[in-house]
Amino acid sequence: MGLISEIIALDALTQTAIKLGQRTDQERLLELIKLRKELSQQMGKLSKAADAFDFSGRGDDIAGIFRQKLSHMKSVIAKHQAFWPVSMIETDSREYRRSADNLINVQAAFIAWALKELR
């Protein structure tokens, strides 16, 4: 798939994460483990698609800006997942929710920016 398609796929995963965050059942934790794996795979697909994407004619150093924003998002994802393994989510749900909301906001901002700049 192309870069735009991979960004849209990331958006779908983000929407799934939002829905999971609204649930309180135990089954959601197993689904969250699966979602984290899918998100990791999607980051790889997104990076690969970016390597093949023609950024020319889209403004000053748009490729560099894209990579910086992608790197920032990946860093936020990694930090969130490292600090909040699934087994720890319910130990302090208020702090987890704050971290998850921040992650969702970073992903949403990246998606909105990328789609606006690259379409």
- CATH classification at residue 109: 1.20.1440
DSSP state of 86: G
What is the number of domains present in the chain? 1
Are the C-beta atoms of residues 115 and 4 closer than 8 Å to each other? yes
pLDDT tens track for 42-101 = 999 999 999 999 999 888 899 999 999 999 999 999 999 999 998 898 877 889 999 999
Helix, strand or coil, per DSSP, at residue 92: coil
State the Cα–Cα distance between residues 119 and 3, nearest whole angstrom: 10
pLDDT tens track for 35-50 = 999 999 999 999 999 9
Residues in the chain: 119
Q: What is the pTM of this model?
A: 0.93
Question: What is the domain range of residue 96?
Answer: 3-118
